[in-house]
Amino acid sequence: MLPTASLTISELFSNPFLLDVPVYQRPYSWGEEQAEQLFDDLLEASSLGIDEVSDPGYFLGTILLMDASGSDATRLTAKTPARTFDVVDGQQRLVTLMTLFAVLRDLETSLKRPISRRVQGMFVAQQGARFFRTERFRLHLAARDKSWFEEFVLQADSTQLVPTFGDMSASDEALYKVRERLKRLAKEISEADRERLFSYISAKCHVVVIVSNDIDRAHQLFIVLNERGKHLQRNDIIKVDLLSGMSKADLAWADEKWNETSAMLGDDFEQFFAHIRTIYGHARPKIVSGVRSVIQEAGGADAFFKTVLLPLAEAYALIRSCGEGVLPPEMSRHLFYLNRLADGDWAPAAMWALKDWKRDPERAAQLLAEIDRFAHLMRLLCAGSGKRLRKFAGVIAALRSDELARAGHPMFQISREELRNISFHMRDLHKRNPKACKLLLLRLSDEISGTIADVNPDHYTIEHVLPQRPSATSEWRKWFPTPEERSQSVECLGNLALITQQQNDRARNASWSAKKDIYSAANVKTPLLAITRDVLDAHEWRSSDIEAREKRLLGIIEKIWRVDLSGTRSSTRADASKSDITLGPTSAV
């Protein structure tokens, strides 16, 4: 029997655990989205910003350790002398949690610094007898990542330091991006909430720790934990609840409808229930308990089937198919662009807007246009998934209360401060949010051409026409002689195009004439996009060309989403509104 224990995070980051990531482990590889999802889950579990009781505990999964000393590991307590354990499974979570703790520590301004004191005890372990005591960091990454992690995360105030990018490995860059994303998310909540979040994670979040002293058994366990078994799906549990609540007369009908809905939605069937939970305002409970509440509020299983599940499933199927052949072309167009957004924070609102679209197609079309606009402006705002979910929760609440009879509801407004932030982000959107930047360029390309280019966004990369690092002898240095000129022009929207990765590898620091030849190459799979053809029309590529193109593209954005982006240009309009931006009637896009 292997020793197993349920430990809080503070217990895991204390004696006797000295954690080493062995060299055979893969480097740190979590992305910003995974780290943000963890942050949002912890924020939700702790109930910060919500007038509800926090979850009594939050399970962060299993951590598999190998006792490097080979000692008897059956009785491990806080009084057991500190010793080293290799991390066989759990590196990504442990590193991300420590990074979050470091961010919360370094954002602290209180003179008492309660987080800092507790983090010090978690991060730094004491070794040796009383008069021969030494210190080491609690977690050591493999040699390739160890020094960077310690210098830019573990050391006090180190998350405020900016590393030298040319010296970083791929895993260092991944960790840096995660660190920066966590900083942005943590800054969105107050210092008091940051302290409460830290306390909740430390004391209420727990892991199941399994300890082995045999590498072969540890490897076998890793395989079992990560690859074997088919989890019981949430929708399987919901199905049992529903069918057990149906009358005998309707049981066969309900089973048939359930199977038809499951086949219609396929792999998205389970996500569909998460959207139902969100629509009906049950964001706090887990999906199953949330849907159970909706069933009860609907009046039981029969009413839920007929008034909730079936009409919303049809709406969700329309969303997934972009309403092709069913919805009017303009509505399908909005769904096409919404479906390009990886996170489905907008989907519950769109489902409700389409639930009874045949009854009032004009209203449904207007609402869908507003949802499209709002979702994309949130991306240009570089809002995290948690903030977007909170924003759309307000939209859904207004929809369900029938306040959104037509477009123009305050929930869809963009405040003056948010508009300033969008304008600020547009100056270097590619650096701030590459995914949002690529989707924006694809949308602009369609507006330029007047047709939708049904292409795979993954087949294209963002190209800087003026290179980011032009060679000293190139014509680029003649056209842009000072670092200031190059810095002002290289990241702005007017300097960006979309080409394939192969073209990008060839173009890099090439001359203007060579780049034009490279851009012109296209094939059926990756056609030349209008946003890139727009560049080819220029005779030269100087500051004036970039500024003119930027002005033209910003004008298109203003027309699509009815915003004033004058703040992104060199001069600000004197008549810029001093009040919040409100919405007029939705115009065709």
User: Per-residue DSSP letters for 114-167?
Assistant: HHHHHHHHHHEEEES-GGG-EEEESEE--HHHHHHHIIIIISTTGGG----GGG
Contact 232, 287 (CB under 8 A): no
Q: Phi/psi of residue 234, each to 5°? A: -60, -35
Sign of CA dihedral 264, 267, 273, 274: negative
From residue 212, give the alpha-carbon distance in Å to each of 87, 215, 555: 11, 7, 62
**Of 136, 177, 133, 181, whose CA–CA distance to 154 is shortest?**
136
**DSSP letters of 187-217?**
HTS-HHHHHHHHHHHHHHEEEEEEEES-HHH
Separation CA 391–CA 411 (nearest Å): 8
With tokens 């014509």, the residue in question is 475
**Of 182, 178, 201, whose CA–CA distance to 28 is shortest?**
178
Separation CA 177–CA 352 (nearest Å): 35
Contact 17, 84 (CB under 8 A): no
Contact 476, 533 (CB under 8 A): no
**DSSP letters of 257-310?**
HHHHHHHHHGGGHHHHHHHHHHHTT--SS-HHHHHHHHHHHHTSHHHHIIIIIH
Separation CA 190–CA 196 (nearest Å): 10
- pLDDT, residue 201, reads 95
- What is the DSSP code (8-state) at residue 459? G
Contact 348, 392 (CB under 8 A): yes
**Of 584, 173, 589, 187, whose CA–CA distance to 421 is shortest?**
187
SS3 of residue 67 by DSSP: strand
* Through-space distance between the first and last CA atoms of the chain, rounded to whole angstroms: 64
Contact 63, 226 (CB under 8 A): no
Tokens of 286: 């887990």
Residue type, 243: L
What are the residues facing 208 on neighbouring strands? 6, 62
Sign of CA dihedral 295, 298, 299, 301: negative
pLDDT in tens, 468-525: 989 888 999 999 999 999 988 999 999 999 999 999 999 989 999 999 999 998 777 8
**Of 535, 491, 528, 492, whose CA–CA distance to 512 is shortest?**
535
Sequence-distant (≥ 6) Cβ neighbours of residue 261 within 8 angstroms: 269, 309, 310, 313
- What is the DSSP code (8-state) at residue 581? B
**DSSP letters of 533-575?**
HHHHT-SS--HHHHHHHHHHHHHHHHHHHT---GGGSSS--TT
Sequence-distant (≥ 6) Cβ neighbours of residue 172 within 8 angstroms: 145, 148, 163
What are the residues facing 346 on neighbouring strands? none
Contact 3, 74 (CB under 8 A): yes
- pLDDT, residue 212, reads 80
Around Cβ 512, how many Cβ atoms within 10 Å? 18
Reported as half-sphere exposure (CB side, CA atoms, 13 A), residue 7 has a value of: 21
Separation CA 347–CA 360 (nearest Å): 19
From residue 415, give the alpha-carbon distance in Å to each of 96, 356, 377, 557, 582: 33, 30, 11, 17, 8
SS3 of residue 461 by DSSP: strand
Separation CA 535–CA 541 (nearest Å): 9
* β-sheet with 58-67: strand ranges across: 4-8, 205-212, 58-67, 83-89, 17-20, 139-140
Q: Per-residue pLDDT for the chain (589 aa), expressed as one digit of tens each?
A: 456 788 999 999 998 889 999 876 778 889 999 999 999 889 888 887 555 566 678 889 888 888 866 665 556 666 677 888 999 889 999 999 999 999 999 999 888 889 999 999 999 988 766 666 788 999 999 877 899 999 999 999 999 999 987 778 888 999 999 999 999 999 989 999 999 999 999 999 999 888 887 666 665 566 556 654 444 567 777 887 788 788 878 888 888 899 899 999 998 998 999 999 999 988 665 788 889 899 999 999 999 999 999 999 999 999 999 999 999 999 999 999 999 998 789 999 999 999 999 999 999 999 999 999 999 999 999 888 888 888 898 889 888 887 654 556 677 888 889 999 999 998 899 988 999 999 999 999 999 999 999 999 999 999 999 999 898 889 999 999 999 999 889 999 999 999 999 999 999 899 999 999 999 987 778 899 999 999 998 889 999 999 999 999 999 999 999 988 875 544 333 333 333 333 333 333 2
Q: Phi/psi of residue 571, each to 5°? A: -125, 150
Q: What is the pTM of this model?
A: 0.67
Separation CA 180–CA 176 (nearest Å): 6
Reported as half-sphere exposure (CB side, CA atoms, 13 A), residue 314 has a value of: 15
Sign of CA dihedral 500, 505, 511, 513: negative
Contact 259, 243 (CB under 8 A): no
Sequence-distant (≥ 6) Cβ neighbours of residue 283 within 8 angstroms: 44, 277, 290, 389, 393
Tokens of 326: 């069913």
